[in-house]
A and B are shown apart, each in its own frame.
Chain A
C-alpha cells in the first residue's frame, strides 16, 4: 500500500502528487497542514533519514511501512519501485540532466520561492491567528527548522534575504527559458520528472513573482506552464486543493545554502 502525507498541491507536495497521478498509482491521501498548530501532527512511523529530513514539512511517502522523504527522491523512488510509465528519460545523459535540474531546483529555487511565498502569504496568515510564538517554536526539535519558523513568525526577513530570493527566482526562470529554446521539455525530448520538479515551483510564480514570470519576459516558460497544466494528471493533482488557492500555500522551505 502507498500513502502520501501531503499538504496543498503546491511546491514539494505538488511534485509528488503529480508523479503519483502520472504513473497511475493508487494511494491513500493523508492531508497535513504544516501551518496548523491546533493539534498534534499525525505522522507515520519514521526512520533515521525521515527524522532528519530538511524538508520536514514536505511530503512523506509511506510504502509498505517504509517512510520515504525528500520530494525529488520520492519521484526517483517511484520510478525505481514502479518502473511502468517512467518519468526519467532512461539514458545516462538524460538522467544526468534530470539530476542536475533537481539539484539546482532544490538548492537554489526552493529556498528562493519559499522565502518569497512565506513573506507574501504565510506571514500575514500567522499574524492574523495571533499564535503564541514560543509554544509554536517548541514544536520544532531541529535547530534549522526552528530558525526558519522563527523568521516567519516574527517576519524577520531582511532586505538582503528577499533580494537574494528574488535573484534565485529570476535565475530559475532564466534557466528554464534558456532550456526551452532548445526543446519543449527541460531534460529530454519528452516530459520528464525534471519538468514535474520545476513546474511544482514555477506554477505559483506568475502570481508570486510577476515581474520575472510573465508573457513578455518569459514567453516559453508561460507556454510550458500551460502545456503542463493541461495534462490530466496535473489537473487531478491541482484539484486536490482544499483551500481553492493552492499557489498561496507556503511553509518555511529548506535553508539558503551557507556555502557556494
Chain B
C-alpha cells in the first residue's frame, strides 16, 4: 500500500509523482493544499511532523525528503530503472540533484514565493495568518512564510536569487549541449528532478530559459513534456501547472 501526500506536480511534490508515474507504480494520492496551509494541520502533522510536503507512506513506513524518496521508489519497486547503471553517470545524477535541490531550487522558490505564494494568501484575515505562521513546526519554514506573506524579501536577496537562477540555467544548458540527459546518455531521476523546477521557466519574466538563450534546454523540455508519464503527472494539477505544460510544444508542432 502506497500513499503520497503532495501538492501540485511542481517542485518537491512533483518529484515523487513523476517518479511513480515513470516507474508505473500505482499509488493513492492525497492532495495537500499548500495555499490553505494543509501541511501544518494537526492531521497532517501526525503523518509528517516536519509539516512539509511531500510525504509518502509505504507499508506503514513514513518517508520524507523528496530526493531520497525518489531513490527509494526506484529501489523498492519493479519497473524501468530510473538510475543509470554506470557509476560515473550515477554520481552525475546525484551531483545534479544536489545542485538543483540546494543551489537552484532555493533561489527559484524565493522568486516564486515572492511573486505568487505571498500575494495569493496575503489578503486573508491578519489574525488568522499570524496563527498559521505560529503553527509552522520548522523554524526555517516559518522565516520563509513570514517573508512571503508580509513581502519582506530584500532587494538584495531577490537579486542574488535571480543571479543564481540564471547561472543554474546556463550550467544546465552547457550540460545538455554535451549530453542528451543531465546524468549523461541515460534518462534518470536528475531529469525528473529538473523538470519540476524548470517547466515553468519559459513563462517566467526572468527570461532565464528561452528558445534564444537556452535552445538545448528547450529541446529537453519538449522531450520531457512528450513523455506519457509527464502528461499523467501534470494532469493531477489543480492550478495553472497543467496549463504551463500545454505550452511546452515544439514550434513546428503547434497548431496554427
Contact = CB atoms under 8 A, between A and B. Distances in A.
Interface of A: 48-49, 52, 54, 66, 68-70, 73, 76-77, 80-81, 92-93, 95-96, 99-100, 103, 106-107, 257-260
Given A66-B88, A96-B68, A103-B67, A259 B144 contact: yes
17 contacts: A49-B92, A49-B96, A49-B99, A66-B88, A70-B98, A73-B94, A77-B88, A81-B87, A95-B72, A96-B68, A96-B72, A99-B65, A99-B68, A100-B65, A257-B106, A258-B160, A259-B109
Given A96-B71, A107-B102, A77 B174 contact: no
B68 A69 contact: no
Contact of A93 (B61, B171, B178): B61
Contacts of A54: 102-103
B213 interface: no
Contacts of A73: 91, 94-95, 98
Interface residues of B, number: 39
A48 B171 contact: yes
Contacts of B106: 257-259
B249 interface: no
Main secondary structure of the interface of A (DSSP, over half): helix
Nearest to A52: B171
A257 B65 contact: no
Contacts of A80: 87, 90-91
B110 interface: yes
Nearest to A47: B92
B44 interface: no
Contacts of B141: 260
Nearest to B174: A48
B95 A70 contact: yes
Interface string B194-214: 000000000000000000000
B186 interface: no
Nearest to B72: A96
B144 A260 contact: yes
Q: Which of B92, B95, B107, B109 has the largest number of chain A CB atoms within 10 A?
A: B95
A73 B87 CA distance: 11
B174 A100 contact: no
A77 B76 contact: no
B33 interface: no
